[in-house]
Amino acid sequence: MADRRPELTEVSPVSSDPENSAGGEYHHSEDGGPQPEKHCGHGRGGMGEEVSRKEDRRFITGRGNYVDDVKKPGMLHCELVRSPHAHARIEEIDGSRAMALDGVVAVLTADDLLEYDLATMPTLMDDTQDVLVNDKVKFQSQEVAAVIAEDRYAAKDGAEKVDVSYDVLEPVVDAETALEDDAPLIRDDIEGKEDNHCFDWETGDEEATDEAFENAAVTVEEEMFYQRLHPAPIETCGAVGDYDPGKDKLTVHMTSQAPHIHRTLFAQVSGIPEHKIRIVSPDVGGGFGNKVPIYPGYVVAAAASYVLERPVKWIEERSENIQSTGFARDYDMNGEIAATEDGEIRAIRVDVLANHGAYNAAAQPSKFPAGFFNIFTGSYDVETAYGSLSAAYTNTAPGGIAYRCSFRVTEAVYLVERMVKVLADELGMDPADVRRRNFIQPDQFPYESPTGWNYDSGDYETALDEALEMADYEAYRDEQQRRIDEDADKLLGIGISSFTEVVGAGPGKSCDIAGVEMFDSADIRVHPTGKATLRVGVQTQGQGHETTFAQIVAEELGIDVDDVVVEHGDTDTDPYGLGTYGSRSTPVAGAATAIAARKIRDKAKSIAANELEAAEEDVEWDRESGEFHVAGAPERSVTVTEIAAGAYMNHPGGEEPGLEAVNYYDPPEMTYPFGSYVVIVEVDRETGEVEFEKFVAVDDCGNRINPMIIEGQIHGGLAQGIGTAMMEQITFDDNGNVTGGDFMNYLLPTAMEIPEFETGHTVTPSPHHPIGAKGVGESPTVGSPPAIVNAVVDAMAHAGVSHVEMPMTPDVVWKHLEEAGLERRPAQNLEFELAGDAGESVTDDD
Partner 1 sequence: MTDEREITLTVNGTKRTIEVEPRRLLVHAIREDLDLTGTHIGCDTGNCGACTVLVDDEPIKSCLTFAVQADGSEVLTVEGMEELPESAGDLHPLQEGFHEEHGLQCGYCTPGMILAGKALLDENPDPDEDEIREAISGNLCRCTGYQNIVRSIEYAADELEARAAADGGTSIPDRASNASATDGSDAAFDCGLENCCGGPAAGADGGESRE
Site residues for partner 1 per CB under 8 A: 52-53, 55-66, 68-69, 71, 102-103, 152-154, 157, 232-236, 283-286, 288, 317-319, 541-544, 708-709, 711-720, 742-744, 748, 750-752, 754, 756-757
Q: How far apart are CA 5 and CA 9, in angstroms?
A: 11
Q: Tell me how far apart the alpha carbons of residues 379 and 365 are, in angstroms, rounded to a whole number.
A: 23
The distance from CA 155 to its chain's CA centroid, rounded to whole angstroms, is: 33
CA–CA dist 489, 483 (Å, integer): 8
What's the Cα-to-Cα distance from 482 to each of 27, 719, 738, rounded to whole Å? 49, 30, 45
Say whether 228 is catalytic: no
The nearest distance, CB 784 to partner 1, in angstroms, is: 11
- Please identify, using beta-carbon distances, which residue of 66 and 225 lies nearer to partner 1: 66
The helix/strand/coil state of 496 is: strand
- Complex with partner 1: residue 357 or 542, whichever CB lies closer: 542
Sign of CA dihedral 794, 797, 802, 805: negative
Considering 53, 82, 187, 404, which one is annotated as catalytic? Answer: 404
Which among 763, 789, 757, 543 has a CA at the least distance from the CA of 674?
A: 763
In whole angstroms, the minimum distance from the beta carbon of 697 to partner 1 comes to 10
| Active-site position among 78, 198, 237, 405 | 405
Q: Give least dist CB 100 to partner 1, A.
A: 13
Residue 422: name the closest of 221, 251, 264 by CA.
Answer: 221
Tell me the HSE value of 413 on the side-chain side, using a 13 A CA sphere. Answer: 32
| Comparison of 390 and 541: residue with beta carbon closer to partner 1 | 541
Smaller CB distance to partner 1: residue 517 or 742? 742
Q: Which is nearer to partner 1, 597 or 697 (CB)?
A: 697
Minimum CB separation of residue 290 from partner 1 in Å reads 10
Q: Closest approach of Cβ 202 to partner 1, in Å?
A: 35
In degrees rounded to 5, what are phi and psi of residue 555? -65, -45
Beta carbon nearer to partner 1, 290 or 610: 290
- CB of residue 178 to partner 1, shortest distance in Å: 31
Options 140, 257, 480, 720, the catalytic residue: 257
Q: Which is nearer to partner 1, 26 or 757 (CB)?
A: 757
Q: How many CB atoms lie within 10 A of CB 807?
A: 18
* CA pair distance 713, 707, nearest whole angstrom: 10
* Strand ranges across the sheet with 136-137: 136-137, 88-94, 163-168
Q: Are 509 and 670 in contact (CB under 8 A)?
A: no
Rounded to a whole number of angstroms, the minimum distance from the CB of residue 90 to partner 1 is 27
In the bound state with partner 1, the residue whose beta carbon lies nearer, of 129 and 141, is 141
Strand partners, 392: 197, 355
Report the nearest approach of partner 1 to the CB of residue 695 (Å). 10
CB of 544 to partner 1, least distance (A): 7
Supply the minimum distance, in Å, between the C-beta of residue 61 and partner 1: 6
- In whole angstroms, give the CA distance from residue 826 to residue 830: 7
Considering only CA atoms, which of 534, 543, 555, 545 is closest in space to residue 47? Answer: 555
Are the C-beta atoms of residues 605 and 796 closer than 8 Å to each other? no
Q: Is 10 a catalytic residue?
A: no
Q: Please, what is the minimum distance in Å from the beta carbon of residue 296 to partner 1?
A: 20
Check if the beta carbon of residue 580 is closer than 8 Å to that of residue 538. yes
257 flagged as catalytic: yes
Gyration radius (Cα) of the chain, Å: 28
User: For residue 121, what is the enclosing H or E element?
Assistant: strand 120-122
Q: Which of 235, 627, 693, 778 is catalytic?
A: 778
Nearer to partner 1, 104 or 107 (CB): 104
Q: Based on CB atoms, which residue is closest to partner 1, 516 or 727?
A: 727
Which segments of 116-237 does DSSP mark as H helices, in order? 152-160, 175-178, 206-214
Query: Is 506 or 783 the residue whose CB approaches partner 1 more closely?
Result: 783
**Least distance from partner 1 to the Cβ atom of residue 676, Å:** 18
Distances (CA, A) of 512 to 348, 369, 505, 581, 840: 28, 12, 9, 13, 71
Burial of 144 (0-12, 13-18, 19+ CB in 10 A): buried
For residue 248, give the 3-state DSSP assignment: coil
Alpha helices in 659-778 (DSSP H): 707-726
For 369-445, list the strands marked E by DSSP. 384-392, 399-401
Alpha helices in 428-539 (DSSP H): 431-438, 460-471, 473-485
Integer Cα distance of 261 and 267 in angstroms = 10
For the question of residue 539 being annotated catalytic, the response is: no
Pairing relationship of beta strands 218-229 and 327-339 according to DSSP bridges: antiparallel
Of the pair 668, 775, the CB lying nearest partner 1 is at 775
Give the count of beta carbons closer than 10 Å to the beta carbon of residue 102.
9
Looking at the Cβ atoms of 82 and 816, the one nearer to partner 1 is: 82
Residues in a beta bridge with 498: 676
Q: How far apart are CA 56 and CA 59, in angstroms?
A: 5
Nearest approach in angstroms of CB 319 to partner 1 is 7
Judge whether 316 and 325 are in contact, CB under 8 Å.
yes
Beta carbons of 196 and 775 less than 8 angstroms apart: no
Query: Helix axis angle, 779-796 relative to 409-427, nearest 10°?
Result: 30
Residues marked as catalytic: 257, 404-405, 778
